[in-house]
Structure 1
Amino acid sequence: MSVFDTLKERGFIAQVTHENEIRELFDKEKVSFYIGFDPTADSLHVGHFLGMMVMAHMQQAGHRPICLIGGGTATVGDPSGKTDMRKMMTDEVIAHNCECFKKQMQRFIDFSDGKALMVNNGDWLKKLNYIEMLRDIGPHFSVNRMLTAECYKQRMEKGLTFLEFNYMIMQAYDFMELNHRYDCKLEMGGDDQWSNIIAGVELIRRKEAKAAFGLTFTLLTTSEGKKMGKTEKGALWLDPAKTSPYEFYQYWRNVTDADVEKCLALLTFLPMKEVKRLGSLQDQAINDAKKVLAFEVTKLIHGEAEALSAQQAAEALFNGTGNLDNVPTIELSEADFGLKLLDLLAREGVFASKSEGRRLIQQNGLSLQDEKITDVDFVLSKELFSEKSLLVKKGKKKYYRLVIA
């Protein structure tokens, strides 16, 4: 089975520019391909997960990934899927974020001996002469056609700046530059990048008269079409300092039944026969599949030891026994005693807001040591701590430990 068939069987592929030619290319040579990552934070999040899995599958089949860090394009901001203009970033912040990305990618990609590359498009975009670029690249782009691209439609409603309008041209230029430097023949990305990817493919074919190809992979969404990876605290980060391994594990442990098989196919390396077996489980048995999913995904991102710890903490909570050290912990100082429990939990991000916390308490959705908290003005006192910690339960599945520092 070719890697194209593997990607198709596992549900990655959304759109391709030239399917038959891409299949033939994969069969006859080792292909250099690239996926772009904008360094807009100091950690990758679960939205980048699919891209790294695609790179891993491709590299295992003998092809060479090029991880393109958008040090140049991040100073402009990709308008794709955005309703507001992004904040511009300094070179120092971008450089720091790039280093953080590489550490996380090394769990998936082997960068040794040129088997994979990480390059920064700031290395060439920042050296461009504006007039030369306009003359060289401008004739190959139709403004009328660019304005029909999906990536601009949302921004057009609020006002698309000329700065953002240049993003497609810059991304297309990246593909051409990588083609010159590394014989890169394929650009891959999320399906929201389709218009930008086509622009690069067509630029190389028109200007260079060379073969170039594009492939998009499906976005990670629920069976209801909503983006996965959003938590009450924001994105589901791959950095354990931003999203703990336990919280990460619990996110996948609690996906809906309908999403289990898709997540197993896209986010683990389990054989498809096993994926289909687990995905076919029904009723209570589907929980076994969710445990496998949570463990495998957490192991990929955080390593086996952290996955085991998260698994044990989850089981300890479920069974009411065992080690709770890996449960998300809130350390209390002397100054915290006398505060309302609602205020404390809102401050620590357990609730998105105090109003959310009030609603949950009024709906009997908050417990302290298995006792329902019914008073929104409940005050936390030191006398409550007969044990070394108190367990807060939010809703049916979320737990937090309160400990005295």
Structure 2
Amino acid sequence: MTTLFDELRWRGLIQDHTPALPQHLAEHPTLTVYAGFDPTAPSLHVGNLLPILTLVRFQRAGCRPLALAGGGTGLIGDPSGKAAERPLLDAETILTNVAAIERLLSRFLDFSGANAAQIVNNLSWLGDLSLLTFLRETGKHFSVNTMLGKESVRRRLETGISYTEFSYMLLQARDYLELYDRHHCTLQIGGSDQWGNITAGIELIRRTRGCATHGLTLPLITKADGTKFGKTEQGAVWLTADRTSPYAFYQFWFNTEDASVLRYLKAFTFLSADDITDLEASLASHPEDRAAQRALASAVTEVVHGAAGLRTALTATDILFGGAAIVDIDAETLLAIFHDAPSAEVATTLFTNDGVSLPDLAVAANVVGSKGEARRLIEGGGLYFNNRRVESVHARVTREQLIGGRYGVLRKGARTYHLIRLSDST
């Protein structure tokens, strides 16, 4: 029988771990495990997705997951993986971000049943902790020499690190101790840059409670060429639709290069080994079909955005790349699909009882520079309204043809889309 540790190793989800972790998992199959998330923004990005999904894997295996939102440590800033000091966020911003992250995490974890997940905020214990108590109960157990040897600190010594960020390791160690005392949590997971912070917590619990706890770090996910994963030309890929639309999210995964797709399938989806083996065979025999990328994009998009978000992404893909006509969708879906497309407001008064001519609409929406250019484009078969080719320079659009009576899409050539919004004030 495959153990949870074997499953994690097969999926490439183990970077470092305490030596006795496999035995501990075997002896305590319902243990409590936690991962922490910094509230530096009102959302999380795909770089956070690996620890989130790993918590889900632990829960599905029978363990109890704790997701820690760092309302307290967020006021300090984690130096791990950073070349310079983080800007300090004010308490109100941190509070807003924590609430948003808690809502986001609740979409992934199951909060019912015997091993119900729980979201905890370390501000609930760090906020009332006095400096003298912290120094006596936590600081006295750490050697400065040892702290200077931790990678997260050592890498910052050349550029400089404040005492505030230098103390972060001790605060995270305190988190582990508090969760051990409050929830008997015996395993912390995190990114590869968190190993020093995790082992600090393990050492604090050993010294103060005389008990052995464990840690596991996940590998740094990179692209095939070794560059940073999770970035596009538009910036970070976020886990909320208001920052990265389901369509853009789907396309991020669909555009995965062949050399990385199998690794991502193992790490970011819950597909079985047999399913991934089949996709590996398809990739080898018919890479042009992109079946592996399609399976990856569909699986991750559904996990993050739900079935409705996946439908929106697939509809958008069919419209944008398959040339499907834009019909039978509502305004909300249309706006989600063309979230990243150029848009223009046109006056409601442009539409008379019999509508507006396509050349006039194209000029008003800044798709073309003149009616003459619009006529030439139409005569050449290069102008589309709602993904249907405009056949005549005399064609007109009525308000009834707009989605929701207010929105339409003009397409110039094969891929240049423009979203039209009716405005009473234009």
2:104 match: 104
SS of the equivalent of 1:391 reads strand
- 1:6-405 matches, within 5 Å, as 6-18=7-19, 21-29=20-28, 30-112=30-112, 115-280=116-281, 281-282=283-284, 284-285=287-288, 287-323=290-326, 325=334, 326-328=337-339, 329-334=341-346, 388-391=408-411, 400-405=417-422
Q: Does the C-alpha gap of structure 1 residues 59 and 302 become closer, same or farther in structure 2, counting only changes over 3 Å? A: same
Q: Which amino acid aligns with 1:130?
A: L
Q: Does the C-alpha gap of structure 1 residues 139 and 6 become closer, same or farther in structure 2, counting only changes over 3 Å? A: same
SS of the equivalent of 2:23 reads helix
Q: Which has the larger radius of gyration?
A: 2
Q: Does the C-alpha gap of structure 1 residues 47 and 392 become closer, same or farther in structure 2, counting only changes over 3 Å? A: farther
SS of the equivalent of 2:110 reads coil
SS of the equivalent of 2:224 reads coil
SS of the equivalent of 2:78 reads coil
Q: CA deviation at 1:118?
A: 0.8
Q: CA deviation at 1:386?
A: 7.4
* Corresponding pairs, count: 362
SS of the equivalent of 1:157 reads coil
Once the two structures are overlaid, the 10-residue window that deviates more, 151-160 or 164-173, is 151-160
Cα distance per residue 1:67-109 (max 9 Å; x no partner) = 1111110000001111221122233222222222222222321
Q: Distance in 2 between matches of 1:322 and 1:229?
A: 32
Q: Distance in 1 between matches of 2:117 and 2:71?
A: 18
Alpha-carbon contact 2:191-2:218 (below 8 Å) kept:
yes
Give TM-score, length-normalised by structure 2.
Answer: 0.78
Once the two structures are overlaid, the 10-residue window that deviates more, 87-96 or 286-295, is 87-96
Cα distance per residue 1:43-80 (max 9 Å; x no partner) = 11111111111011100111011111111100000011
Q: Distance in 2 between matches of 1:218 and 1:117?
A: 25
Cα distance per residue 1:215-245 (max 9 Å; x no partner) = 0011221122222111222211111011000
Q: CA deviation at 1:392?
A: 6.8
Q: Does the C-alpha gap of structure 1 residues 370 and 199 become closer, same or farther in structure 2, counting only changes over 3 Å? A: farther
Q: Distance in 1 between matches of 2:94 and 2:165?
A: 18
Alpha-carbon contact 2:344-2:418 (below 8 Å) kept:
no
Q: CA deviation at 1:400?
A: 4.8
Q: Which amino acid aligns with 2:13?
A: F
Q: Distance in 1 between matches of 2:201 and 2:250?
A: 38
1:359 match: none
Alpha-carbon contact 1:279-1:286 (below 8 Å) kept:
no
Q: Does the C-alpha gap of structure 1 residues 65 and 240 become closer, same or farther in structure 2, counting only changes over 3 Å? A: same
User: Gaps (5+ residues) in structure 1?
Assistant: 342-368, 372-382
Q: Distance in 2 between matches of 1:399 and 1:296?
A: 28
Q: Which amino acid aligns with 2:410?
A: L
Q: CA deviation at 1:276?
A: 2.6
Give TM-score, length-normalised by structure 1.
Answer: 0.82
Q: Distance in 2 between matches of 1:386 and 1:156?
A: 67
Q: Which amino acid aligns with 2:262?
A: E
Once the two structures are overlaid, the 10-residue window that deviates more, 87-96 or 331-340, is 331-340
Q: CA deviation at 1:110?
A: 0.8
Q: Distance in 2 between matches of 1:6 and 1:216?
A: 15
| Identical columns (%) | 40
Alpha-carbon contact 2:344-2:366 (below 8 Å) kept:
no
Q: Does the C-alpha gap of structure 1 residues 370 and 303 become closer, same or farther in structure 2, counting only changes over 3 Å? A: farther
